[in-house]
Chain A
Amino acid sequence: MTEITEVPSPFCGIGSDDLAILADGNTLTVTANGCAATTSLFEQAVTDTRPRVNGVATGLAAAIAKAAALLRQAHAPVIGGCATDVNGMRALLILAERCGAVADHMNFNQARANVLAMQDSGWMTTTLAEVKNRCDLLLVVGTDIEAFAPRFFERHLWTDAMFVEDNNQRQVIYLGKAPSGEASTAPNGTQAHVLDCAQADLPAVLAVLRALIKNKPLQAHQVAGILVTDLQNIADRLKAAHYGVVAWAAGALAFSQAELSVQMLSELIKDVNNQNTRCVGLPLGGKEGDQTAHQVSGWTTGYPARVSFQRGYPEYDPFLNDTHRLLETGEADTLVWVQAFNVAAVPPVTDLPTIVVGRSGMVFEKEPDVFIPVGTPGIDHAGHAYRMDNVVAIRLKKLRDSGLPSTAQVLNALAESL
């Protein structure tokens, strides 16, 4: 039995790297600094150790040979999931190039509001250490942060800071969604200020907030049940803050054309910066290897992780290259699903030939043609994964010797056998 300390988590989005984990053979126990988003994913048992072809256990070489045979017959494969580490994603893109596939991260539709807004007008953003040391006003929009990242407040707000004298002076405002728990409550008991509204009304509320920040005259007295004077108060506080942080999770903005709301937020942040104070955005993400996929795809192809190699070079389309759409319309003829982090994230059920390179322990509604269990980055092998803020690639540790291959090993072998 060994205890490993300073373990980084690829699961929590915020890249906590202070976990302590006890390893006893293949059994892991989080002994310090776990959370609801992380602990069960570290402690998930290893079940499958052997690949299966048509449900029958076989060796790795035979499984790769079968997968290669399926891909050789494919004219329009799609590689979904894309939830793995940097080396896994590197191999995945080479495989996609080799077989003319679409590579599409499973969270892309959730992240799309951010991608579209960023590509259309850009934004001003920050990273977690800046939030920790500078944030004196946190405006959370349409998102329940603590459900997303349970340790967010503990690690970044109610903790030591270089430039915030008293943590109780840090203000937290929720707009458009109330927090599910007490994590946002200050050490002295001050609760977050909440202005709730229906999700679908957020676009109107944000439009009013931006108008107020830009000092535009408004006739309305309320919007979506929120008093304009309350929104004026938020505008004033953003302008009065030294370092206001506006946080949202694109995936939580579950309404049509949410990219326009992300753009509204991003532009109002820019507006505050033009009125002699600082304000920054904090787009939340970093789950299921999404930032890792976008970063690696970014430097390899120039585009975020929704690219097609059908024509021999990467082509990006945030709508057309959607795995589910390709399966539903029959434009894809083979599915490869790569998911090294989360056994619950199973592939969409399809009648098409299906190859799954997945975390050991996945349970399928419909057995895929080929299932190759792989190790989890940060547990079964070392690797790199990106935090939600995109700058920091955490160095994942190997915690046990399960003998499971890495995603990269499997996908590289597959690409080479094509």
Chain B
Amino acid sequence: MLTKLTGGIIYDPASGVAGRQQDLYLQDGRIIHPPADAKPDKEYNLTGKVVMSGAIDMHTHIGGGKGNIARLLMPEDHRADPAPHTHICHSGCGHAMPSTFTTGYRYAQMGYTAAFEPAMQAINARQAHMEMADTPILDKGGYVMLGSDDYLLRLLTTRQDQQAINDYVAWTINAAKAIGVKVVNPGAISAFKFNQRKLDLDERHCHYAVTPRQILNVLATAVQQLGLSKPLHVHGCNLGVPGNVETTLDTIQGIAGLPVHLTHIQFHSYGAEGDFKFSSGAARIAEAVNKNKNITIDVGQVLFGQTVTISGDSMKQHAGHKHAKPNKWVVMDIECEAGCGVVPFKYRDQDFVNALQWAIGLETFLLVDDPWRIFLTTDHPNGAPFTSYPHLIRLLMDRTFRNEMLAQIHPEAQKMTTLASISREYTLYEIAIMTRAGAAKLLGLKDRGGLSPGHWADITVYTDHPNRERMFEKPDYVFKDGELVVVNGEVVATRWGTTHTVKPDFDPSVEKGLKDYFDRYLTVKLGNYKISDDEMTEDGRGSITVQPTR
């Protein structure tokens, strides 16, 4: 079937098109060159509409055990937002941590066509993939967590060379069917199991005697040497701690030019100044990001309201449990690999700290110059549920609206932020970079995130409404792999996206040491640990797309 999208205003940063009227032709799921004589089977008149590729969320907790703990922990949150089934959609629940089907529909309803789980534990990767397999419409993928796993820490203490580490990292990526590697509070999830409650960048793990900086360096090196497009995804030390801006700057300096992605950087950009010993470090972070081209970031914006924080950072989540609202929380140690913490949280605009967190996130967005190196996230659901993205986009694109919101937050927080003096307003082109082309480039997604011929036809069509929240919450049309799935913000058809992975090479002899270790110390056999291709595809709806390594 040939489909023609006629007369839309195209924003396609992947090919440098910034608001040019242009027709698009779709066939067999892809965008094609204008055919010489073919008559379209279906034509959509998009005159005056804004056309972008489908949005890509490069950091959102949509699959894996800790998210499911959050769901099971919060029945009262679901009850307020039931999602009835329709003749097209399955039922479920929404708000802070929606059910999987509802997650897929609501992302698609906002024009998103891909989302990536950033904290997939290898031992729990099956669950992450099974949940994502039940998340319709979206393409998906996961970053596998390393850095607090006893196997890596043992490699480090026995001073194995970088090649041995690379082999192990590559093996794990393959075993877990991942597209990237994440490190969460390097070494600290393990240290917490030994009752260490704090681990600074150069502090030694009380058992293994390695430091977070060493772990960061070997993992960032491994990811680069294995040729992954996606740089090491770093959830740094000291999340949420006043003064942690110094740690973050030190992390940027210390990584010595290696590509790294610092995730939810808002939570790592705090000074310790002022009457409340809590201040914004956003300007210093933005300056460092602007200067160091090897660094990419996503923000992890806080927006006000009830949510639930879920993290692999069991050390910091345990420390934060006294802020739980409602007062219930779960912390887990997991399989000599990692851990997790689930702490419900309500961000309030009249709370000084929460209000300043909100401002710090926005300062970061507005002070980082290069939209190719910063990504729009709330670290769903940690800063806010993903459904608040249209509101966040309006805050970035509309200074008047932003300042109205600023005027409502805790007065002391208003004094501690430079937000009012920042005049920048994001353009549609910059939004398209942050949420589309930049994310596809960062992840190395071939033929995604662009609108030139050859790309998969993941396309979102918006009405150019001056209220950007209105515009982005309800696209006119969303196409996934060329199929119309959303009309006027309602799901009209569903389908299954693919799972993006990478398969870096490794020396197969790495399995010898691993097998001994699994047999002696773990509770699953090596052969049963690895996820097979058929597990992902046997139900007839999943598929695996292997993205190239460099």
Known: A119-B73, A299-B131. A393 touches B523 (CB 8 A): no
Is A313 in contact with B523, judged by CB distance below 8 angstroms? Answer: no
Q: How far is the CA of A304 from the CA of B72 in the complex (A)?
A: 6
CB-contact partner of B91 in A125, A314, A391, under 8 A: A314
Within the complex, what minimum Cβ distance (angstroms) separates B76 from chain A? 9
Interface stretch (choices A34-42, A86-94, A361-369): A86-94
Main secondary structure of the interface of B (DSSP, over half): mixed
Is A391 in contact with B333, judged by CB distance below 8 angstroms? Answer: no
Is A124 in contact with B335, judged by CB distance below 8 angstroms? Answer: no
Is A129 in contact with B92, judged by CB distance below 8 angstroms? Answer: no
Q: Using Cβ atoms and an 8 Å threshold, which residues of chain B touch A393?
A: 124, 126-127, 130
Task: Compute the total of residue contacts between A and B using a CB distance below 8 Å.
Answer: 187
Asked if A153 is at the interface (CB within 8 A of a chain B CB), the reply is: no
Q: How far is the CA of A313 from the CA of B425 in the complex (A)?
A: 41
Q: Using Cβ atoms and an 8 Å threshold, which residues of chain A touch B124?
A: 391-393
Q: Using Cβ atoms and an 8 Å threshold, which residues of chain B touch A392?
A: 123-124, 335, 523-524
Residue of A nearest to B67 (CB): A299
**Mask: chain B, 327-343; 1 = CB below 8 Å from A; 0 = not:** 11111111111000010
CB-contact partner of A121 in B101, B328, B332, B520, under 8 A: B328
Q: Using Cβ atoms and an 8 Å threshold, which residues of chain B touch A86?
A: 130
Residue of A nearest to B195 (CB): A278
Is B72 in contact with A129, judged by CB distance below 8 angstroms? Answer: no
Q: Using Cβ atoms and an 8 Å threshold, which residues of chain B touch A309?
A: 85, 91
Is B82 in contact with A313, judged by CB distance below 8 angstroms? Answer: yes
Is A382 in contact with B73, judged by CB distance below 8 angstroms? Answer: no
Asked if B505 is at the interface (CB within 8 A of a chain A CB), the reply is: no
Is A302 in contact with B99, judged by CB distance below 8 angstroms? Answer: yes
Is A128 in contact with B92, judged by CB distance below 8 angstroms? Answer: no
Is B92 in contact with A125, judged by CB distance below 8 angstroms? Answer: no
Chain B interface, number of residues (Cβ within 8 angstroms): 65
Is B523 in contact with A128, judged by CB distance below 8 angstroms? Answer: yes
Asked if A97 is at the interface (CB within 8 A of a chain B CB), the reply is: yes
Asked if A315 is at the interface (CB within 8 A of a chain B CB), the reply is: yes
Asked if B90 is at the interface (CB within 8 A of a chain A CB), the reply is: yes
Q: Using Cβ atoms and an 8 Å threshold, which residues of chain A touch B524?
A: 15, 17, 129, 392, 394
Q: Using Cβ atoms and an 8 Å threshold, which residues of chain B touch A313?
A: 82-85, 91-93
Asked if A112 is at the interface (CB within 8 A of a chain B CB), the reply is: no
Q: Using Cβ atoms and an 8 Å threshold, which residues of chain A touch B337?
A: 129
**Mask: chain B, 525-544; 1 = CB below 8 Å from A; 0 = not:** 10110011011001100000
CB-contact partner of A162 in B71, B150, B330, under 8 A: B150
Q: How far is the CA of A119 from the CA of B535 in the complex (A)?
A: 32
Would you list which residues of chain A between 227 and 267 have a CB under 8 Å from chain B? 242-243
Residue of B nearest to A93 (CB): B90
Chain A interface, number of residues (Cβ within 8 angstroms): 65
Is B523 in contact with A384, judged by CB distance below 8 angstroms? Answer: no
**Mask: chain B, 86-113; 1 = CB below 8 Å from A; 0 = not:** 0000111100011111000000000000
Asked if B75 is at the interface (CB within 8 A of a chain A CB), the reply is: yes
Is A295 in contact with B99, judged by CB distance below 8 angstroms? Answer: no
Q: How far is the CA of A392 from the CA of B332 in the complex (A)?
A: 13
Is A303 in contact with B535, judged by CB distance below 8 angstroms? Answer: no
Asked if B522 is at the interface (CB within 8 A of a chain A CB), the reply is: yes
Is B333 in contact with A126, judged by CB distance below 8 angstroms? Answer: yes
Asked if A395 is at the interface (CB within 8 A of a chain B CB), the reply is: yes
Within the complex, what minimum Cβ distance (angstroms) separates A263 from chain B? 10
Q: Using Cβ atoms and an 8 Å threshold, which residues of chain B touch A162?
A: 150, 336, 521
Is A122 in contact with B328, judged by CB distance below 8 angstroms? Answer: yes
Q: Using Cβ atoms and an 8 Å threshold, which residues of chain B touch A134?
A: 193
Q: Using Cβ atoms and an 8 Å threshold, which residues of chain A touch B528?
A: 6, 8, 17, 394-395
**Mask: chain B, 130-153; 1 = CB below 8 Å from A; 0 = not:** 110010000000000000001000
- The 4 A-B residue pairs whose C-beta atoms are closest, nearest first, are A302-B93, A302-B78, A122-B328, A313-B82
A residues at B contact (CB < 8 Å): 6, 8, 14-15, 17-18, 86-87, 90, 94, 97, 115, 118-130, 132-134, 155-156, 160-163, 242-243, 273, 276-278, 280, 294-295, 298-304, 309, 311-316, 382, 384, 390-395
B residues at A contact (CB < 8 Å): 65, 67-68, 71-75, 78-79, 82-85, 90-93, 97-101, 121, 123-124, 126-127, 130-131, 134, 150, 192-195, 207, 318, 324, 327-337, 342, 520-525, 527-528, 531-532, 534-535, 538-539
13 contacts between A and B (CB under 8 A): A6-B525, A97-B90, A118-B330, A128-B523, A129-B337, A162-B336, A242-B195, A278-B193, A299-B100, A303-B71, A384-B126, A384-B535, A393-B126
